[in-house]
Amino acid sequence: MEDSVISSREEAAFEAGIKLGALYHQFTCTPISLATLESVEKAMEESVSLQPFVTSVRVKIDREKVKSSLNEFGYCELDGDMLDVRLTSQVDRATVTAKLSYDNELEYPLMKIVSIDDER
Amino acid sequence: MEDSVISSREEAAFEAGIKLGALYHQFTCTPISLATLESVEKAMEESVSLQPFVTSVRVKIDREKVKSSLNEFGYCELDGDMLDVRLTSQVDRATVTAKLSYDNELEYPLMKIVSIDDER
Amino acid sequence: MEDSVISSREEAAFEAGIKLGALYHQFTCTPISLATLESVEKAMEESVSLQPFVTSVRVKIDREKVKSSLNEFGYCELDGDMLDVRLTSQVDRATVTAKLSYDNELEYPLMKIVSIDDER
Amino acid sequence: MEDSVISSREEAAFEAGIKLGALYHQFTCTPISLATLESVEKAMEESVSLQPFVTSVRVKIDREKVKSSLNEFGYCELDGDMLDVRLTSQVDRATVTAKLSYDNELEYPLMKIVSIDDER
């Protein structure tokens, strides 16, 4: 059964996905070090905040993983495994909270819907 | 009201968003010409097809826009405005069809859910 | 005639090219606005500074071009045309100053060696 | 001593660097599998070939490294460590051959000038 009536919850979930996918592929592989990762976190947060339907975003880069990945020139590339991102998107009255974080079992940076808040 | 029960439709919408966001930011700015855009379309389609929950994807790059954007060296960079993408994602019995295409009114490459098909 | 003796000047020119090419393709297409471009400039500068052989780098994003490119959501994507970058690389006693800036005649963001300084 | 007379050899070295830096940051992190890496190799080669001063390019992705990096969904992301690239750039009569390949000692994907050929 086709149901072309798309809910605000579904729209908000779609928008949250877009932003996490975009963020990931825009910024991974950027050269970083312990001294510079704060400015990369900030640039990532601001870049996502600009986009429509985003109401909040927080980006954390795992210091320990950065430290253990430094090459002999003292930096490494931002890897998906280092990222911990939490964002909310809103469409009408539906708010989706989603996150990107490393899943130790899957050994994979996993994007996931945390919750959907639907004020009715 | 928080509703932490997330439906398959919402999950599939989220997954479709992830893939479109990722595709966009992975491949825009790639140097292309009329002679090479087919191999870029193919690489884009294959890259998306590999990812979980994707059941189909079709990527078209607008030949006319490429032609009119060529620089004096005979190539241009892949711009979001040139992209026409249609993909389906599936989670359980929910299938989301989504697209990325240039919206002439918004003057913006828009990502949108086309339909959600929910076999019940 | 093959001449496998590669000078420090040539090495430094090669390194300057690597950094400009990397910077360009890492950061173009990032969503930016007038309010956020400083943090992107900073992230770009820091990311380049980390890399071997770089002795200085300055990144400027053209405010006017950003302003005239804003979409209806109030942001735009960082375009190569908006970038003005100047960096120096050093290998032994050779220092190369290179830049990336928009060439109005070619209508193209051009990368160019400005000068090579060779302390002898 | 500033020497603003820049030789064709230096220019060609600069151009080779630009292309390797661009290639690396444009394509790393692309999702790939054993079944799709040929189309990615082809897209990378074609994208570089389009750019000014490039006379040849060959891209190889290490099958063994891809195989051992596959996640549980059967794909991985293109990592700089997997790349083996050889390209030549030409400015006037100077031809630079440069490569990107994994350096086992540095544990680093290294870009290097292989030779400069200067027909005189």
Put simply, the answer to whether A1 touches B118 (Cβ < 8 Å) is: yes
> A41 pLDDT exceeds 50?
yes
**Residue to test with chain C: of A30, A53, A61, most C Cβ within 10 A:** A30
Predicted local distance difference test score (pLDDT) of residue A106 = 84
Any domain includes A82: yes
Q: For the segment C19-41, what is each residue's pLDDT rounded down to a tens digit?
A: 999 999 999 999 999 999 999 99
Within-domain flag for B1: no
Contact A58, A87 (CB under 8 A): yes
Give tens-digit pLDDT for C62-103.
999 999 999 989 999 999 999 999 999 999 999 999 999 999
Q: What's the one-letter identity of residue B17?
A: G
Return d(Cα B70, Cα C71) in angstroms, integer. 23
Mean pLDDT of chain C: 93
Measured CB to CB, residues of chain A less than 8 Å from chain D are: 25, 28-29, 71-73, 77, 80, 106-108
Residue C77 structural domain: 8-118
Judge contact between D21 and C25, C-beta under 8 A: yes
Q: What is the pLDDT of residue D120?
A: 63
Q: 């000078």: which residue's tokens?
A: C7
Distance (Å, rounded) from C-alpha D97 to C-alpha D93?
13
Domain count, chain B: 1
Residue with tokens 């794909």: D75
Higher per-residue pLDDT: C59 or D107: C59
In the prediction, which pLDDT does D106 show?
A: 84
Please judge whether C77 and B72 are an interchain contact, meaning their C-beta atoms are less than 8 angstroms apart: no
Tell me if A50 and C73 make a contact (CB, 8 A cut-off): yes
- B39 is a domain residue: yes
Mean pLDDT of A50-69: 97
Contact yes or no for B16/B23 (Cβ under 8 A): no
Residue D3 is assigned to a structural domain of this protein = no
pLDDT at B108: 86
Mean pLDDT of chain D: 93
Task: Chain A: list its partners (3+ Cβ pairs within 8 Å).
Answer: B, C, D
Helix (H) or strand (E) run with residue B41 in it: helix B37-49
Q: How confident is the model at residue C4 (pLDDT cuts 50, 70, 90)?
A: low
CB contact under 8 A, B71 and C28: no
Average pLDDT of adjacent 10-residue blocks, chain D of 120 residues: 78 98 93 95 95 97 96 92 97 97 90 90
**Is D2 inside a domain boundary?**
no
Residue carrying structure tokens 């490119």: C69
pLDDT at B1 over 50: no
Backbone angles phi, psi at B42, to 5 degrees: -65, -45
pLDDT tens digits, residue range A64-102? 999 999 998 999 999 999 999 999 999 999 999 999 999
Complex-level ipTM beyond the 0.85 threshold:
yes
C1 is a domain residue: no
Q: Do D13 and C18 touch (CB under 8 A)?
A: no
Is residue B26 packed enough to be buried (19+ CB in 10 Å), middle (13-18) or exposed (0-12)? buried
The pLDDT value recorded for residue B4 is 62
B59: which chain D residues are within 8 Å (Cβ-Cβ)? none
Residues of A in contact with B13 (CB under 8 A): 6, 10-11, 13-14, 17
**DSSP state, residue B75:** -
Closest CA to C78 of C19, C26, C27: C27
- State the pTM of this model: 0.93
Q: How many CB atoms lie within 10 A of CB B68?
A: 9
Q: Is residue B2 part of a domain?
A: no
Residue C82, SS3 per DSSP: helix
When pLDDT is cut at 50, 70 and 90, the band that residue B120 belongs to is low
- CATH classification of the domain holding C74: 3.30.1300.20
Residue D1 lies inside a defined structural domain of this protein: no
**Quick one: pLDDT at residue B39?**
94
Whose CA is closest to D71, among A107, B84, C59?
A107
Written in H, E and C, the secondary structure of chain A is: CEECCCCHHHHHHHHHHHHHHHHHHHHCCCEECCCCHHHHHHHHHHHHHCCCCEEEEEEEECHHHHHHHCCCCCCEECCHHHEEEEEEEEECCEEEEEEEEEECCCCEEEEEEEEEEECC
At residue D81's C-alpha, the angle toward residues B37 and D78, to 5°, is 35
